[in-house]
Chain A
Amino acid sequence: MTSEPLLRVTGLEKMYGTRVGCRDVSFELWPGEVLAVVGESGSGKTTLLNTLSTRLAATAGRAEYLMRDGVWRNLFDLSEAERRLLMRTDWGFVHQNPADGLRMTVSAGANVGERLMAVGERHYGRIRSTAVDWLTRVEIAADRVDDEPRRFSGGMRQRLQIARNLVTHPRLVFMDEPTGGLDVSVQARLLDLLRGLVSDLGISVILVTHDLAVARLLSHRMMVMKDGLVVETGLTDRVLDDPREPYTQLLVSSILMV
Chain B
Amino acid sequence: MAATLPSLSLSGVSKSFTMHLQGGIVLPVVRNVGFEVHPGECAVLSGPSGVGKSSLLKMAYGNYAVEAGAIRIRHLGEMVDIATASPRTILEVRRDSLGYVTQFLRVVPRVSALDVVAEPLVARGTEVETARARSRDLLARLNLPERLWSLPPATFSGGEQQRVNIARGFITDHPVLLLDEPTASLDARNRQVVIDMIGEKKAAGVALLGIFHDEDVRDRVADRLIDVALFAPEKAA
A residues adjacent to B (C-beta < 8 A): 1, 30, 33, 188-189, 191-192, 195, 217, 220-221, 234-238, 241-242, 244-246, 249-250, 253
A192 to B87, CA, bound (A): 23
The residue in chain A whose Cβ has the minimal distance to the Cβ of B119 is: A199
The answer to whether A250 and B21 have CB atoms under 8 Å apart is yes
Known: A238-B62, A242-B64. A33 touches B108 (CB 8 A): no
Q: Which residues of B contact A241 (CB under 8 A)?
A: 58, 63-64
Known: A234-B87, A241-B63, A242-B64. A249 touches B20 (CB 8 A): yes
Q: Which residues of A contact B63 (CB under 8 A)?
A: 235, 237-238, 241-242
A244 to B227, CA, bound (A): 27
Known: A241-B63, A241-B64, A246-B20. A1 touches B92 (CB 8 A): yes
Within 147-181 of B, Cβ neighbours of A (below 8 Å) are at none
Q: Which of B58, B65, B87, B92 has the most CB of A within 10 A?
A: B87
Known: A217-B108, A249-B21. 8 other contacts (CB 8 A): A220-B87, A235-B63, A238-B62, A241-B64, A242-B65, A244-B18, A246-B21, A249-B20
A52 to B19, CA, bound (A): 34
Q: Which residues of A contact B88 (CB under 8 A)?
A: 30, 33, 220-221
The answer to whether A244 and B65 have CB atoms under 8 Å apart is yes
Asked if B91 is at the interface (CB within 8 A of a chain A CB), the reply is: yes
B residues adjacent to A (C-beta < 8 A): 17-21, 58, 62-65, 87-88, 90-92, 108-111
A33 to B65, CA, bound (A): 21
Chain A, interface SS category: helix
The answer to whether A249 and B19 have CB atoms under 8 Å apart is yes
Q: Which residues of A contact B91 (CB under 8 A)?
A: 220, 235
The answer to whether B111 and A192 have CB atoms under 8 Å apart is yes
Q: Which of B19, B64, B109 has the most CB of A within 10 A?
A: B109
The residue in chain B whose Cβ has the minimal distance to the Cβ of A222 is: B87
The answer to whether A238 and B64 have CB atoms under 8 Å apart is yes
Q: Select A195's contact among B20, B58, B108, beta carbons within 8 Å.
A: B108
Q: Which residues of A contact B90 (CB under 8 A)?
A: 235
The answer to whether B20 and A235 have CB atoms under 8 Å apart is no
A249 to B20, CA, bound (A): 7
A242 to B15, CA, bound (A): 11
Task: Give me 19 A-to-B residue pairs in the complex whose CB atoms sit less than 8 angstroms apart, sorted by A's number.
Answer: A30-B88, A188-B109, A192-B108, A192-B110, A192-B111, A220-B87, A220-B91, A238-B62, A238-B63, A238-B87, A241-B64, A242-B17, A242-B64, A242-B65, A244-B18, A244-B65, A249-B20, A249-B21, A253-B21
Q: Which residues of A contact B20 (CB under 8 A)?
A: 245-246, 249-250
The residue in chain B whose Cβ has the minimal distance to the Cβ of A246 is: B20
The answer to whether A192 and B109 have CB atoms under 8 Å apart is yes
A221 to B90, CA, bound (A): 11
Q: Which residues of B contact A30 (CB under 8 A)?
A: 88
Q: Which residues of A contact B58 (CB under 8 A)?
A: 241-242
The smallest C-beta distance from A19 to any residue of chain B, in angstroms, reads 27
The smallest C-beta distance from A83 to any residue of chain B, in angstroms, reads 28
A1 to B88, CA, bound (A): 10
The answer to whether A189 and B62 have CB atoms under 8 Å apart is no
Q: Which residues of B contact A237 (CB under 8 A)?
A: 63
Q: Which residues of B contact A250 (CB under 8 A)?
A: 20-21
The residue in chain B whose Cβ has the minimal distance to the Cβ of A247 is: B20
A221 to B111, CA, bound (A): 22
A241 to B109, CA, bound (A): 20
The residue in chain B whose Cβ has the minimal distance to the Cβ of A195 is: B108
The smallest C-beta distance from A35 to any residue of chain B, in angstroms, reads 10
A79 to B220, CA, bound (A): 68
A35 to B75, CA, bound (A): 24
The answer to whether A235 and B109 have CB atoms under 8 Å apart is no
A68 to B175, CA, bound (A): 37
A244 to B64, CA, bound (A): 10
The residue in chain A whose Cβ has the minimal distance to the Cβ of B154 is: A188
Known: A246-B20, A249-B19. A189 touches B65 (CB 8 A): no
A180 to B109, CA, bound (A): 17
The residue in chain B whose Cβ has the minimal distance to the Cβ of A1 is: B92
A214 to B17, CA, bound (A): 25
A221 to B21, CA, bound (A): 24
The residue in chain A whose Cβ has the minimal distance to the Cβ of B61 is: A237
The residue in chain B whose Cβ has the minimal distance to the Cβ of A220 is: B91
The answer to whether A189 and B109 have CB atoms under 8 Å apart is yes
